[in-house]
């Protein structure tokens, strides 16, 4: 079976004269509180779907003519909120590993020791053990962990545990020894081997490009190719199941991923989220020409599997103390963060890739990193001529206030992940101070300046659940709740704005706003029904909201209780 994709078209729904219905609906949703995200028709109560597209939106009585009593499936929303499917504009999506040690929300470091011990007992000597999502700012002592935390329970296994942001890892002595990393090993460009100030020995924390030094050894007994393939395939199915249960109907993957795997999933009828996959930013023209060939195959007219944008990193993160700042960190004045390359190298790559017509996204966290990103995009427009490039600032996390208006002026998309705000606010002011924090996660200022925001999660750095992002966007409060108006409450959004950025905003960022992101006639029927009215419920109920139905391309891919 070959992969077939269709260009979105507006389906004619009536024969000349408007008296006869050409198509009866395959699926109808009635009695809903439909938030369409369509300014021309913001609310409705019923939707008619034929094939993979919406053929009518309106009242239940007016849409009754689309119903075939024998063939049309009818979902009675019973007054529940109906919205476009969530489009995660930035998710490191891929096959899940059932053996991965999950450390998210850990407050007691001894729990890490116990979980590593448990996994070692289930593993062969020499077998690599991975885990992550720990955040030392959540530990009761707020101290960086060290190799001593895990050495005693993993003498014969390499252990790599990623920090929540993915920009630092904790490794054990086994890994340090196999990698040849010791007290005399110099820091690589754009990276840091954290060393004990008294002994000079590595602590086990490797930041940014220092992670590239890791070697886990040759003594690991690998699974057979068949075992590896089966485990990976099962991992894809686990990931897609999680996405559809959370109402995530589109996913934009920054950087590389396996096109062929998703193509196979589509051909077997198992792909339940639309996927964009990009590549790493490069100035190598031979490689850019290869990218053009891939984009030709997975072209912008595709609805299911498309070539995305070219991704680069300009700096690290606030949490790891590696974001590129104009001034030193408040809590560590000896550093202003790390640049992943020189500005000239970065600008040259951006200008070259822009000349080839690629969309570019840059991981930018610090105020200087974001400034460099905007400068490079501006330079590309001057050198190559302005076009509708929709280049993306991935994260746009800490901005100089003077740079905010430049997003709209340059047509740059702030591709942001609202949960980063409520995860990082615990330490943001400690790292960069109060004044610089005014430009952190500045959704309201960017919106008021006319920028087109796209929302996502940065999964698996943060959970894939959109409800956590919506909660963050409208409250800027701790997940467990807190008194007051939230952190820098002047940057909060309304719930409708937050949903818009998670649907139409993300569609715009991938040049698909003409066919998805709204509940409108002719648009792809990607729709979610939730069990609570997000527009009216108290903020304490937002993260408790569950998805009852997920519909992708007119097909119900998830319904609660089934």
Q: In a 3-state reduction of DSSP, which class is residue 514?
A: coil
- The pLDDT value recorded for residue 105 is 86
How far apart are alpha carbons 491 and 474 in whole angstroms? 9
Task: Evaluate whether 101-213 and 230-514 have a shared fold.
Answer: no
d(CA 168, CA 211): 7
DSSP string, 97-130: -TT-EE-TT---HHHHHHHHHHHHHTS-TT--EE
Give the pLDDT confidence of 132-183 residue by residue, as tens digits: 999 998 899 989 999 999 999 999 999 999 998 888 999 999 999 999 999 9
Helix (H) or strand (E) holding 133: strand 129-134
Residues ≥6 apart with Cβ < 8 Å to 253: 91, 92, 93, 94, 275, 276, 277, 278, 308
Residue 22 confidence (pLDDT) above 90: no
Judge whether 460 and 90 are in contact, CB under 8 Å.
no
Alpha carbon 407 to its chain centroid, in Å, reads 20
Domain limits, the chain? 1-85+517-562, 101-213, 230-514
The lowest-confidence range among 18-32, 89-103, 513-527 is 18-32
Reported as half-sphere exposure (CB side, CA atoms, 13 A), residue 24 has a value of 10
**Which residue in 4, 14, 72, 81 sits closest to 519, CA to CA?**
81
pLDDT-derived band at 561, boundaries 50, 70, 90: confident
Pick the CATH number of 1-85+517-562 from 2.60.120.10, 3.40.50.970, 3.90.550.10, 2.30.40.10: 2.30.40.10
- Provide the 3-class DSSP secondary structure of residue 425: helix
What is the reported pLDDT for 217?
63
Query: pLDDT tens digits, residue range 286-326?
Result: 999 999 999 999 999 999 999 999 999 999 999 889 999 99
- Residue 283: CB atoms within 10 A of its CB come to 17
pLDDT digits (tens, 9 = 90+) for 358-384: 999 999 999 999 999 999 999 999 999
Whole-number percent of the chain with pLDDT over 90 = 88
Q: Above 50 in pLDDT, residue 6? A: no
| pLDDT band per the 50, 70, 90 thresholds, residue 239 | very high
> Do the bridges between strand 168-171 and strand 191-195 make them parallel or antiparallel, or are there none, so unpaired?
unpaired
* pLDDT tens-place string over residues 344-364: 999 999 999 999 999 999 999
As its CATH architecture, domain 230-514 has Alpha-Beta Barrel (3.20)
Distance between CA 149 and CA 414 in Å, rounded? 38
- SS3 call for 262: helix
Note the pTM of the prediction, 2 decimals.
Answer: 0.86
Tell the CATH topology of 101-213.
Answer: Diaminopimelate Epimerase; Chain A, domain 1 (3.10.310)
Look at residue 3 in the predicted model and tell me its pLDDT: 41
Calculate what percentage of the chain has a pLDDT beyond 70.
95
């Amino acid at each position: 079976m070959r992969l077939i994709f269709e260009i979105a078209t507006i389906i004619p729904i009536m024969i000349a004269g408007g008296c006869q219905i050409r198509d009866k609906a395959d699926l109808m949703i009635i009695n809903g509180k439909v938030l369409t995200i369509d300014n021309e028709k913001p609310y409705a109560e019923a939707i008619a779907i034929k094939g993979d597209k919406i053929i009518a939106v309106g009242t239940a009585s007016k849409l009754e003519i689309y119903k075939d009593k024998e063939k049309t499936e009818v979902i009675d929303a019973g007054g529940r909120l109906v919205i476009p499917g969530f489009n995660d504009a930035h998710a490191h999506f891929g096959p899940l590993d059932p053996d991965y040690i999950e450390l998210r929300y850990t407050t007691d470091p001894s729990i890490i020791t116990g979980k590593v011990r448990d996994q070692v007992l289930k593993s062969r000597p020499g077998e690599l053990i991975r885990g992550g999502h720990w955040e030392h700012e959540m530990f009761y002592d707020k101290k960086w962990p060290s190799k001593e935390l895990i050495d005693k329970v993993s003498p014969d296994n390499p252990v790599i545990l990623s920090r929540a942001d993915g920009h630092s890892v904790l490794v054990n002595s086994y890994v340090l020894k196999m990698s040849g990393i010791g007290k005399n090993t110099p820091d690589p460009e754009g990276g840091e081997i954290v060393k004990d100030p008294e002994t000079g020995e590595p602590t086990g924390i490797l930041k940014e490009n220092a992670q590239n030094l890791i070697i886990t050894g040759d003594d690991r007994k690998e699974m057979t190719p068949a075992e590896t393939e089966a485990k990976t395939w099962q991992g894809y199915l686990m990931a897609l199941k999680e996405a559809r249960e959370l109402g995530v109907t589109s996913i934009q993957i920054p950087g590389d991923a396996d096109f062929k795997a998703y193509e196979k999933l589509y051909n077997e009828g198992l792909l339940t989220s639309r996927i964009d996959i990009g590549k790493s930013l490069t100035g190598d023209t031979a490689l850019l020409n290869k990218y053009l060939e891939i984009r030709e195959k997975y072209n912008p007219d595709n609805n299911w599997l498309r070539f995305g944008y070219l991704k680069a990193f300009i700096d690290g993160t606030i949490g790891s103390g590696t974001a590129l700042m104009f001034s030193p960190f408040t809590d560590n004045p000896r550093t202003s963060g790390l640049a992943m390359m020189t500005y000239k190298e970065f600008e040259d790559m951006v200008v070259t890739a822009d000349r080839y017509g690629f969309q570019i996204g840059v991981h930018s966290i610090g105020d200087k990193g974001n400034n460099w990103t905007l400068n490079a995009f501006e330079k590309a427009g001057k050198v190559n001529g302005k076009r509708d490039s929709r280049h993306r600032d991935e994260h746009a996390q800490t901005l100089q206030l003077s740079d905010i208006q430049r997003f709209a002026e340059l047509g740059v998309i702030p591709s942001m992940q609202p949960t980063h705000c409520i995860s990082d606010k615990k330490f943001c002011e400690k790292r960069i101070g109060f004044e610089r924090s005014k430009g952190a996660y500045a959704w309201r200022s960017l919106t008021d300046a006319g920028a087109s925001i796209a929302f996502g999660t940065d999964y698996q750095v943060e959970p894939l659940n959109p409800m956590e992002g919506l909660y963050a966007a409208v409250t800027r409060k701790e997940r467990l709740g807190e008194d007051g108006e939230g952190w820098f409450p002047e940057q909060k959004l309304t719930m409708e704005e937050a949903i818009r950025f998670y649907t139409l905003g993300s569609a715009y960022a991938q040049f698909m706003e003409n066919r998805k992101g709204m509940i409108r006639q002719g648009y792809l029927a990607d729709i979610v029904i939730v069990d609570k009215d997000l527009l009216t419920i108290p903020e304490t109920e937002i993260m408790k909201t569950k998805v009852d139905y997920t519909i992708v391309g007119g097909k119900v891919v998830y319904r609660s209780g089934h």
